Chains A and B, each alone.
Chain A
Amino acid sequence: MKIERRSPDTVMRLSRLGSLHQSRLSFMRQLTRRMAAENWRFERRVFDINQAGVGYAVYTAQGPDHAYSLVAFAHDLPSDQRSDRVIAEAWDATFALFDGVPDANDIERLSQNVPVQEAGRISERELSMSRANRSVRLWDHVVSCLADGLQPDLDMIQSVGYLMRTTAVYGSGKFGAADRSKIADRPECQAPFQVEMLNVYLIRNFVRDLVQHMALSRNPDAAILDSNIARALGIGNSTGLGMAPFLVNHPVLFSNWIMVREEALARVRGVARAEPQAVELFLDLWLRTKEMVAGWSSEHPLQRKKRSDLETDVKSIDEWLGQNHLNKAYPWDQLHKFSNHLSEEGQELLNSLMLEPYPELVDGLASCMADPYQADFILDGAMRLDVLRDVLKEVFGWACAIDWTAREADARAWYVSAEKLEPRLGERYDEPIMDYEQPLSPGRDAVRALNDLEAWSTDQSVAAFLLAHPEHRHVIRRAQLSQIAPYGEIRDNTISADLKPVDMLRAKLSFFGATNFDPRSDRWVRICMYAGAPYPEELTSQTADLWVYPKSAA
């Protein structure tokens, strides 16, 4: 039985994108699997940090052909300067990922630039730049406990999840870093965001060493952090609106992520019979997933509602699984169909989870998640306007149903603030921002183009239309790109009064492999990365993949 991929009209809605979960396609898990399979070697080359916690360290990851080094600077940050916002100017720790192994001159140069982040410049030798702040409550708790000869409280560890959270991880040419083209041909960089994920993986190693160092500085006989507790610690991330435009600005890349996940799901749903080992693995991971759901805390009403729905879903799923449906024909398709009765959180949780037993059907697809096309795409000026109209209606038909004269429909506008060049979302009719609007509302723009097309005869060309209407070039390019990127457009209004940008952030972060989504507002979210992952010395093909699922329930 051939199962078709779900249609973009189903998948590309904001509420569903805002309910996506990590899966075996996640970029973090792709990285840990690769590093284990290729037997990467890791080395702490320098750890020169004083008793006050100020200094630097270098960690090198050596792959088959290339080495990558995290250069970490530790700072003594006054408490009143600790902010997750991009408008911050100082941090507890700052980092660069260096391509190769840095020498003393490189370290000196980076020490002048990395600690000030956006106010400095990095070079073509660097692939990523980032910074992190301590979770004050957990950091102090862990240092104090260890210094007192005790292990920290596991419940407290799990309630926070991390000792430090990154507040930006820049790559791809930002602030002078190397363009992606420098590394795009390296096998280990082919999948998206691999250098950024490696950066964070090494940061986690550094943070464990730093907290231990601080405890030992206080008391030379301090306890050594238990490795099981250390493994439960991830690295947090605090992300704001800057991430949301990325999805709109990279439609081919985003489409490839979604399409690969949808193809993987279709393949698994097409499995006629589940082998007993597959069912066993799924049920084991389901138990562990329930533990993960139970430990997922958020104070925000948006997420509390979603979590409460998910708890109801968990009961329904338990009931369904108790009826032995997985031993029947097309079990995963049955599970998928059953899940349509659940909340979107529950549906997408299962859609990710059912991929787990099938690495042979899923993992090879990961090579299709990059985007070698968008930058070279050439707008087709010879396309006839009747074809253009059909393409616009196919991709943006949903937008034609919106009454764009209603203020709620375009209540918001995306703009970039002069201060720190931070993307922001404002109230179009209340703030003086309309003249600065960014092109992040393809639905509205497509309807405008369709309206102007009314006056044109169908046999004329896109080139002629664009000469008269250059303001539609942006959205026509998008519409044409959709022919190679069927999942490239969010099929929802991105400037409506009820837009929740966290849905866009979550969609992207879920592909990184993030867990514990904890919105701090409708446009700001904290997450956890690498919680449960093996540290470099623990990384083997046995530990490299399923670490995201807590082990204690197994």
Chain B
Amino acid sequence: MNFSLGEIDALSRKAARGAGYPWGLAEEAGRAVAWLCHKGLDGCGAFVRVLNRNLAEDLKTHQPKALGHHMEGVGILCPITAGSTLSDLSAELNVAPITFNHVAEPLLMLPFAWNVAKSQDSSIVLSMDGKDFLIAPNGSFDVSDIVAEASIVSVRLQDFVVSHATQKTRATPKASDLDRLNAFAAQTYAPATAASRRLGAGSDLSDND
């Protein structure tokens, strides 16, 4: 089954919230996953693997301890918090590269690197343990092998030309990943009660008129 990118964005946002991320980061996650799917990459798979690590249960441990050009967490870094921080520090890349120690599913940082590329109008290299992922302001990109963890993700501005410009209009997540996303998303839904059915949305007047 295939899905619209809007569906993937909404589902991933809800799944992130259901897993415990604050809404603002959940929104970043939704956009990031949908963007990866747009590029033909398995954003859903990568994000499910992040969610399965339960990082949001103790987010402070899995985000950078402090801002800087060399960042690390107490534990493994969540790519959504690390990616958001990278995006927030876009301008700093003009001063020097930024590195993150020990990142889970670093592929999910690629959409945030694109934010940097656009805002700084420069191509970006994300080097994951020496393997380069490239992204240009126009969205063209080049990826290396996708890894579950990277000891070091370094990000720098660098001029280069990439020709890879895959644009998918639909996402095709694996059924098992979809089930996981739905299960996490379901944690944002309040169990219905008789009172909520009656009071929460409708009207007491008849519709059969």
Contacts and interface: CB of A to CB of B under 8 A. Distances in A.
Interface of A: 79-80, 82-87, 121, 123-124, 133, 135-137, 172-174, 176-182, 238, 240-241, 375-376, 378-379, 381-382, 415-419, 421-427, 431-433, 435-436, 439, 461-464, 466-467, 470-477, 520-521, 523-524
Interface string B1-35: 11111110000000000000111110110010000
A97 B2 CA distance: 19
B59 interface: yes
A173 B81 contact: no
A522 to B, nearest CB: 9
A87 to B, nearest CB: 8
Interface stretch (B47-55, B124-132, B143-151, B201-209): B201-209
Given A82-B208, A471-B24, A425 B201 contact: yes
Contacts of A123: 2
A179 B22 contact: no
A436 B200 CA distance: 14
A436 B90 CA distance: 33
B109 to A, nearest CB: 15
A176 B4 contact: yes
B74 interface: no
Interface of B: 1-7, 21-25, 27-28, 31, 59, 63-64, 66-67, 81, 84-85, 87-91, 115, 118-119, 169-170, 186, 188-193, 195-197, 199-205, 207-209
Contacts of B24: 466, 470-477
B55 to A, nearest CB: 12
B88 A426 contact: no
Most buried by A among B64, B90, B186, B204: B90
A213 B2 CA distance: 38
Given A378-B90, A417-B189, A79 B208 contact: yes
A432 B200 CA distance: 13
Given A433-B190, A439-B23, A473 B84 contact: yes
A161 to B, nearest CB: 13
A474 B204 contact: no
A462 B201 contact: no
Contacts, number: 171
Given A179-B4, A416-B189, A426-B199, A466 B88 contact: yes
Contacts of A180: 6
Contacts of A523: 201-203
B201 A418 contact: no
A462 B6 contact: no
A433 B190 CA distance: 6
A440 B193 CA distance: 22
B22 A467 contact: no
B192 A419 contact: yes
B122 to A, nearest CB: 14
A426 B89 contact: no
Contacts of B208: 79-80, 82-83, 136
Contacts of B195: 431
A40 B190 CA distance: 47
Nearest to A83: B207
Most buried by A among B66, B170, B201, B204: B201
B190 A418 contact: yes
